[in-house]
Amino acid sequence: MLLQLLIAFAAGSSLPLAFSPFSFWPVVILSPALLIFQLTFIDNRKKTFLLGWVYGLGYFGFGVNWIYNSLHIFGHAPAPVAAALTGLMIVTLSLFIGATLTLYKTLMQLYPGRWSMWSLPFIWFAIEWLKGWVLTGFPWLSVGYAHINSPLAGFAPLVGVYGLGSISILISLLMVMWKQYKNPFSLLLIVLIGFTGFGLKQVSWTETFGDPLNITMIQGNIPQEMKWRREDRQKILDIYWDATKLNWNSDLIVWPEVAIPGRSEDLQDVLVPMSMQASENNSNLLTGIVVSDWMKREYYNSMILMGNHQGEYHKRHLVPFGEYYPFRQLLSFMRNYIDIPMSDMRAGPLEQPLMSVNDIKLGVSICFEDVFSRDINLALPQANILVNTSNDAWFGDSLAPHQHLEIAQMRSLETGRPMVRSTNTGQSAFIDHKGAIIDIMQQFKAQTLTAEVQGRQGATPFLTFAKFQPWLALLILGISVLLVFIWKSAAISHKS
């Protein structure tokens, strides 16, 4: 058993190599295949759970350990607290892998035979979906993201990232079946799936709409430790404003998340002249700011549109501990250990009007929201262009900004929409409607980038399918749990 655990940990540790910035996507097929193969040496469900859990420790331990830096370096949490919270996150995420293998192994024991092996891709789909919902969800590093540049990427506009992950696991399973049974059908099916995915990549599921927008992004590269110092506010505004004045020929100029450090109520003497100048230059400025209502004690992480067109968007999906404290009565003591400015926000309403520029509707999201298909899809199919703004300075020089950009690419691929992704320190990029990067800025440099972005209309099959995805995932989980329950009840009755 020790050997199997060591192999599982090594296989899990290799999996982050499939994601950006390494992007060696074959690992996302080979690594799970090695895990599945180890199951053939285990017949005990407790050991099966342990195998999956240890695989998850390697997977997430190397894949999301950047959380420690975010908490310790930028959130000023003491090293032991940051390490404990990061470890708790990794251990919790690993439980989902353990649960997946346990359900799978139990079904194979309940219904012996090769057919039961085919249940794994469905269980993987359901558990990954669950991981994206529990405690607001953390679907980071779902296996489908590693396929953004693989032949299988063509399936994303049909089945989304979770469905794509299931197809990936199916190929891993087929590799194990070929290894065990030497069945040429398994290899034939792998080749057929690969060619189908490649063919689907050539399909455009949406069509162009309206005239292209000339859009400029400004990456201010403001260090996190400087961002909220009141004495540096004017210096920060000057950095963005000086770059903006050189780009008034653009239809839309985009500043990143909370580019203006402060509350909207305190900055009206700045915002009003900015809006007037944008209008005078026949342009529009979209910027992040904290929209506040001091009397109601309400604060929103927001984007506001100024100039020829007006509008605002309040972030709906807040980051626990970063933007609000969950279970406030129980966990408010965490404020003594984690010092994050503006960490008492209010979530915006689900229904919010879309902003428009020259009749092109913008589907705006802020930072963490683009990790969730369900959040992005709220603006669709009405939105013609997606805009995501972020402050990835929280991640420092880690894997996270690269992984985050890859996630944004998947949202474009799923929805058939181009995305304008504006960040404070990188990676800011223009992404086309097939998830490919058109142009990108360097990390940790103050830069501007301009591109013509063509809006699109219509709905990919995934947008229609996504409405039923939660029910499908719950149905799969429900059937799996019900079968396990029936089996255990029958076993108890047989013993008695």
Residues belonging to the active site? 257, 315, 367
The long-range contacts involving 34-39, CB below 8 angstroms and separated by at least 24 positions, are 34/7, 35/8, 35/11, 35/101, 36/120, 36/172, 36/173, 36/176, 37/176, 37/179, 38/4, 38/7, 38/8, 39/101, 39/104, 39/105
| C-beta neighbour count of 356 within 10 angstroms | 17
Question: What is the enclosing helix (H) or strand (E) of 48?
Answer: helix 45-63
Q: Which region holds residue 193: left if phi is over 0, alpha if psi is between -120 and 50, else beta? A: alpha
Residue-by-residue DSSP string for 422-457: EESSS--EEE-TTS-EEEEPPTTS-EEEEEEE--EE
Q: In what order do the strands lie in the sheet with 252-254?
A: 311-314, 298-307, 284-293, 252-254, 213-219, 447-453
Which residues, 6 or more positions from 273, have their beta carbon under 8 angstroms from its beta carbon? none
Nearest-angstrom CA–CA distance, 277 and 244:
11
Place of tokens 């830096």: 69
- Three-state secondary structure call for residue 365: strand
Listed residue (474, 411, 389) closest to 139, CA to CA:
411
Strand ranges for 83-122 from DSSP E: none
Q: How many CB atoms neighbour CB 415 within 10 A? A: 32
Residue 352 region by backbone torsions, left for phi larger than 0, else alpha for psi between -120 and 50, else beta: beta
- Dmax over CA atoms of the chain, in Å, equals 85
Q: In which element (H, E) is residue 58 found?
A: helix 45-63
Among residues 472, 470, 365, 345, the alpha carbon closest in space to that of 417 is found at 365
Task: Take residue 305 and report the two structure tokens written for it.
Answer: 């549109």
110 vs 113: CA distance, rounded Å: 10
DSSP H helices, 201-348, are 224-227, 233-244, 268-280, 328-331
Residue type, 90: I
